[in-house]
Amino acid sequence: MKSEPSFSDILTASANGWSQRDSDEFLLSLAVPIQRVNPLAQLPLLSKGEQFRFLWDEAPELCIAASGECQHLDLAGPRRFELAQRFSENIFGRIQDAIPIAPSQANPRILLSFSFFDQISERKRSFPASSPLQAILPRWQLTTHGFNGWLRLNGVPSNESEVRELVEELWIMRDQLSSSNENEFSISQSSIPGICQSNKWKNCYEKALIQGIDLVNNGVLDKLVLAVRQSILLNAPLDPLLMLGRLRKQQSSSCRFLWQRSEEQAFFGASPERLLVVRNGYLQSDALAGTAMLNDDGQELLKSEKDLREHELVVKSITQQLLNKGLSPHRSRSPRLAKHGQLLHLHTPITAAIQNQQPLSLAKALHPTPAVAGLPRQEAMQWINNLEPFDRGSYAAPLGWIDNCGNAEFRVAIRCGSAVGNRLELTAGAGLVRGSIAEREMQEVGLKLAVLADQLDLIEPNIQLRQFNNRAII
C-alpha cells in the first residue's frame, strides 16, 4: 500500500462493508500493517484470553501466529479433505475484507490440522491427541515476512456498533504488540522443565521393527515406515514456545509449528518435509527419504544403494499421484542433500502447474507419501495399524493453511511431540526397505527423537543413556 491506513480509513471501510452486506452470514476481516514484531515471541500477548494458539514459523521467511476461533469445523472421516475445502470456500466467500489491497502475506487464512488415519482409534488412544482435528478461521492472525508484518482480526459483528468495537480492538492490539518487550532471546534463554522419568522406547520398538523388516525382505511390501512413541514425564508443565524458540536456531531450515487447543494440551514440532506448497498456480512437493547419521558429510548417503532405492520409491509415488490428477510433474534427475539440524536427508523437489486443481484435493492425493507410510500404500497402512500399539493421531499427517487466493502450504507433521500438562510424548519413525538393518534403523529413530528431547534442560541421573554415534539418546 502507498500509505498506512488510519483508524478512520479502516472504520469507514468496515462500516461500508457492513452497510453493503447481502446476508446475515457476514464475516468482517480487518488488517493493519505492523513493523518489526516477532510472531513467535508475541504469541502469548496475541493469545491472551484465547484457548486456541497456532504458530507457523519459517522465519525469516513467512511466519504466522494466530489465536482464537472465529469459525471452525471438526475434521474426521474419509471425506475430511473435501469438507475442509468446502468449509474454506464458504468462509472466504463470506468474508468482507476491509483492506482488500493488502499484500499476499496479509491474506486471511484457514488453518488446518488433519489426522494420519481417517479416524483416530479410540481403542489405541492412551494419551490425549490434539483432537478434534479442525479447520479454523482464527480470530487473530499476525503474519510477518522479514521485518514487514500485518495484524488481522476476524469477527462476526451483529450491528454497526460491534463493527466499531472490532476496529478499536484491532487498534489496541496493534499498539500493544508494537510496544511489547517480548523478544526471541528471552524465550530461547528460558528454562525448560527437565525429565523425571522416561520409558525405554527401544524395548517396545524392536519386535515391531523385526516384523517390519521381514515384511519388506520377503516382498510382502516394498517399503514400510514404523514409528515409535517415547513417553516422558517432566518436572513441570511444558510451554511449547520455549522449545520452539530453541528449535528456530537449531532447526532453521525446518518449519516450526504449533497447534494448541488449550493451555495444557499442545502438538508441536519442526518439520523438514513439505507435503504441498501452492503459490500462484504452481505446486511443489518434497520427496524426503534417506537419512545420514551424525557426523556424516552425506557422501555415503549419496552412494547408498539402499537409501537411494528408498528415496526413488518416494519420488516415483509422488510423481505418479500427480500424474493421476492430470498434472505434468517435473523432478530433478538425482537427489540433493538437505541438512536439517544434525540430520542429513536425500531430497528431490517435485513441481507442477496445478491447472485449476484445488489444493486440498491435491493434499488428499499425496497423503500419506511413502516417506511416512510405505508401499503399496493401503497395505502399508494396514500393517502400520497392526504393528504400532498407539494411534498416530496428528503424527505424519498434513498440517498447514490455505488462503483466500488459493495459495496453500502443508507440512508433514514429523519431528514432533504432544504435551498434556507434565507429560510429553515424542514420535519418530524409520523407513524399512529390503536390506534394512534393525540396529541402524534404531539409531536413526533415536536421532529423530533427540531433535526435541535435546531441548530439555535437565536429565535426572536415574535416566539410562546409550551412546549412538557420540550422542546421548534417551
Using CA atoms of 301, 304, 309, 312 in order, give the dihedral in degrees to the nearest 10. Answer: 30
Q: How far, in Å, CA of 143 to CA of 65, rounded?
A: 6
Q: How far, in Å, CA of 165 to CA of 11, rounded?
A: 10
Place of cell 502400520: 384
DSSP string for residues in 286-341 = EEEEEEEPTT--SHHHHH-HHHHHHHHHHHHHHHHHHHHTT---EE-SS-EEEEET
Cα-based angle 184, 188, 194 (whole degrees, multiple of 5): 155
Cβ-Cβ contacts under 8 Å for 223 (sequence gap 6 or more): 216, 310, 313, 370, 374, 375, 380, 431, 432, 433
Q: Beta 95-97 vs 27-35: how paired, if at all?
A: parallel
Cβ-Cβ contacts under 8 Å for 290 (sequence gap 6 or more): 301, 304, 307, 308, 310, 311, 335, 345, 346
Q: Is 223 a catalytic residue?
A: yes
Q: How many other CB atoms are there within 10 angstroms of residue 356's CB atom?
A: 8
Q: How far, in Å, CA of 407 to CA of 353, rounded?
A: 13
Helix boundaries (H) for 119-183: 160-179
Q: Under a CB-based contact definition with an 8 Å cutoff, are residues 430 and 387 in contact?
A: no
Which of the following is catalytic: 48, 206, 273, 441? 273
- Residue (of 377, 363, 381, 370) closest to 430 by Cα position: 370
Q: How many other CB atoms are there within 10 angstroms of residue 248's CB atom?
A: 21
Q: How far, in Å, CA of 283 to CA of 306, rounded?
A: 29
Cβ-based burial of 210 (10 A; exposed 0-12, middle 13-18, buried ≥19): exposed
Element (H, E) at 362: helix 359-366
Which of the following is catalytic: 69, 168, 223, 303? 223
Q: Is 273 a catalytic residue?
A: yes
Helix boundaries (H) for 21-159: 39-46, 80-94
Long-range contacts of 295-299 (CB under 8 A, 24+ apart): 295/469, 295/470, 296/344, 298/337, 298/344
Place of cell 493469545: 47
Residues taking part in catalysis: 223, 273
